[in-house]
Structure 1
């Protein structure tokens, strides 16, 4: 017989004996309803007062009911607490088991502002990933969103092993300090030499150190954000820009830019094949967004360009920069 069944039997017996006791000790003025009511309010200690005046024997009986009731309530609370702990442990074990089965997944070290954005993007793309975080509140938040999370210090080899770094396809190291990012990068590269590691740095001077430690790519969010804002400010036609990274080809330096053709009259009414964008700048137009909202993916060579269009261009960064140089300021 399990503990929950015993507690139910305990309170049922206490309610039964309490009711019978009050009925016998109360005399002719006490009905069964009065006796049940008196037992319930005595057990719950709500203090509503007696149904009828109590004799000395009935008062002693009420004291005993309270003592046994409070004791049983304490056991009940402790049991619920143990059940909750067991449930949490079960959920944790289940998550660890699921994480242990992952292969070619991604690992995010740190759930700060950058880590949260990366996790959201990966979740929207339905990619497998694990977050390593040591802050208790953040761990609860991560798990409440249905994400895999290893609760621990990312600088610990035991934590890295729990996240199955040795089977991962790529890792984003976005901890609070460059020192922690450097240490974790070195540890991960030792664990999996072929691992693609994208690391964050706060100071530009630390970028070469992270690369020497084993980072495949290093991103300074302040520098990258500043460059992007400056570019959009000086070239308003550049509406968005995305770097394209590959875990298997770390030297690939592609960018996908969303650029408006506004004020670029040389492309007004020109066929895509006659625009010479690919031939002159070695970049591809992979999409066109018309001012009506219509999107054309992988447009045909006879597609007509207009200055009201926004084009999606993909190519190497240096080639994209050459094209941006002709954009009107």
Structure 2
């Protein structure tokens, strides 16, 4: 009971306490742009102070007694903003002193902030992350949670980003391997560090509001426990799980998985086919790879297609999805297309799409 009570607290922690657990995608700025922006900001602040001092130059006194020139205004602004303050030029009227208090002093602070912006950026990064985490947790809906960012998890994410056109910030990766999470974060994905077998970690990932959960764990027993936990937290989410051994499929089904993919059996069948029909395996690989060549896709039927046969369409139709059920093209139910049907078909990936997909994979 004590362990569960402690675990429950993680999902209820504020954003600043989750900064080491949740990682939001960052917008990167090149070092040159960052330096130029800071230099421009510092110059603008210096110019404002020079202008203020020069316009009120009668309120300042030079130690030489020959008045304050424009060059003197630049000199005073420089030594004042850098907090050096030699004292050879000083405000003597009440107006000039008031301007120094309410305007030049804040600008001096701003000038220093610009100059030491790198240090302050590091110090404030955690606070910015906390605010972004809080905002994300309030607004995230209908996202995809991917448990495990190994070979299977990365392939699943590639398909989501490339073939399904899912935005990177709508994918949350949960893993215990920090190196894998760093790789996911580099692609703009939101990451959560922790074991997905714990309900509080999945709650931090927003699984209760997710539309899909992809369980790509390295161990079948872990996949079962993750699926069971995810189903308890998200009764309406679509859960897809991967297992190594076919004998564990029924355990995943009983745990709440909607679909189970047997990775070892699938790979074994392809290996066996490759010994006699290697070109068939090449074609299957092409269909399963959305980046180039041919790809299996799904689309809504057009109004003019309703009532016709899927065999007579220009597209090569493999099946019809009707009310959540899949009917192969040779099934009696697929003889005529009905309104609201979805078509599973083979489509050609265009050269422009191939180029964009390659960019996404390497981005």
How does the TM-score come out when normalised to structure 2?
0.45
The structure, 1 or 2, with the larger RCO (C-alpha pairs under 8 Å, 6+ apart) is: 2
